[in-house]
Structure 1
Amino acid sequence: MNMERVDVEPGAVSLRPAVESDLATIQAIYAHHVKTGLASFEEVPPDVAEMTRRWQAIRQAGLPYVVAEMGGVAGIAGYAYAGPYRPRSAYRFSVEDSIYLAPEAMGQGIGRALLTRLIDESTGLGMRQMIAVIGDSANLASVGLHRSLGFEMTGTFRAIGFKFGRWVDSVLMQRALGEGASTTPTN
């Protein structure tokens, strides 16, 4: 597992662990999605202090939280992290991915690079399942990205959220990591 900076394609996308000085930009990217999209079911963007608290929780859990930098996009082009799927101990080998891109960075392969990194790092940590909870069944880009990296559709919660004056679905996808459920974890 490589926690350092990784250049996916020379001069194109560079991935590295998120650091505290990234959090204002991360908050701005997330705030955009909260205010304009259905990927997040939050309706009020959290402030930098709250985003810092969330980042620290992921770090304390020893899970990956990475940013992408790209030539032509000022600063951070996107970020992603793998968080605990649920707090109960039986879920300790399962993580949920989250990926958010700056609007000008969409459609350039950055989401794929970030998700691939999360898959690799989570596998290296001994995680066995990765869950994607995708806001809005019409979010074909996110569904397609996850499917292309081995996620399978496991279900859809119909009209589970209400945002922007309409009911919104939540799509569930899942991907085995490493040996998945074929063996018993050793830790």
Structure 2
Amino acid sequence: MIRFIEKKDVEAVYNIYKYYILNTSITFEIAVPTIEDFAIRIKNISKTHPYIVYELDNKVIGYAYATPYGDRQAYMWTLTSTIYVHHKYLNKGIGKILYKQLLELLKTQGFHTVFAIITSTNNNSMKFHLNIGFKYQFTLDNMGYKLGNWHDIIFYRYEISSPTNPPNSLISIEEVKILKKV
């Protein structure tokens, strides 16, 4: 089942992310944040953007969310996406289901473009994003140093909707929650 994140999910989402911080270069975060700081991040993101979880047998095993691409107002229709699935549940279609729902919610809100920013060593994620319709955009070399190596990041782009001129107004996440029963 996919639903919007709730306060009770913070620990499960935190533990999924913590694994990737400690064991991979998928995230460039090196120090594990406190659970309190992580909860604040979730709260801040979910005020304005979709933050959803995948629950199986009453256990959260994946999550996805979107954040603004940049701080300037002209970027307001462009986002970056983040998705993590518990490492024991990879390659079972959960990511695809989460992304489909996330993209639908973003489209309902009126967003135009979403970027996935992927570490170049994460071949599974690159293939996954291409398979769900993202297109390669560009690579930035040696952007982060983690686990004894420099890592490139690769931008993949997904056009949620065609741009309009002028752009449509965005719908709040609260309105979307009423419209879409996730």
With the length of structure 2 as denominator, give the TM-score of the two structures.
0.88
Q: What amino acid is the match of 1:142?
A: S
Structure 1 residue runs of 4 or more that deviate by more than 3 Å after TM superposition = none
Q: What amino acid is the match of 2:154?
A: V
| 3-state SS of 2:61 partner | strand
Q: Is the 8 A contact 1:64 1:82 kept in 2?
A: yes
Indicate the residue corresponding to 2:133 in structure 1. 150
Cα distance in 1 between the residues matched to 2:5 and 2:164: 33
Alignment of 1:74-153 (within 5 A): 75-135=59-119, 137-153=120-136
User: Which of the numbers 22, 31, 35 marks the counterpart of 2:18?
Assistant: 31
Q: How many aligned residue pairs are there?
A: 169
Q: What amino acid is the match of 2:23?
A: T
1:47-84, Cα deviation, whole Å (9 max, x unpaired): 211111111111222x110000124xx71111110111
Indicate the residue corresponding to 1:8 in structure 2. none
1:148-169, Cα deviation, whole Å (9 max, x unpaired): 1211100111111100011111
Cα distance in 2 between the residues matched to 1:104 and 1:123: 30
Q: What amino acid is the match of 1:91?
A: Y
Indicate the residue corresponding to 2:167 in structure 1. 185
Q: Is the 8 A contact 1:27 1:46 kept in 2?
A: no
Determine whether 1:70 maps to 2:53.
no
Cα distance in 2 between the residues matched to 1:138 and 1:67: 25
1:182 Cα deviation after fit: 5.2
Indicate the residue corresponding to 2:45 in structure 1. 58
| 3-state SS of 1:58 partner | helix
With the length of structure 1 as denominator, give the TM-score of the two structures.
0.86
Cα distance in 1 between the residues matched to 2:164 and 2:79: 17
Q: What amino acid is the match of 2:38?
A: M
Structure 1 alignment gaps of length 5 or more: 1-13
Cα distance in 2 between the residues matched to 1:53 and 1:147: 32
Cα distance in 1 between the residues matched to 2:32 and 2:22: 7
Structure 2 alignment gaps of length 5 or more: 170-182
Cα distance in 1 between the residues matched to 2:16 and 2:34: 12
Cα distance in 2 between the residues matched to 1:29 and 1:138: 19
Higher helix share: 2
| 3-state SS of 2:96 partner | helix
Q: Is the 8 A contact 2:145 2:151 kept in 1?
A: yes
Q: Is the 8 A contact 1:95 1:130 kept in 2?
A: yes
Give % identity: 27
Q: Is the 8 A contact 1:131 1:175 kept in 2?
A: yes
Alignment of 1:163-174 (within 5 A): 163-174=146-157
| 3-state SS of 1:34 partner | helix
**RMSD of aligned residue pairs (Cα, Å):** 1.3
1:71-126, Cα deviation, whole Å (9 max, x unpaired): 4xx71111110111111111100111100111111110111111111111001100
1:5-40, Cα deviation, whole Å (9 max, x unpaired): xxxxxxxxx111110110011111111000001111
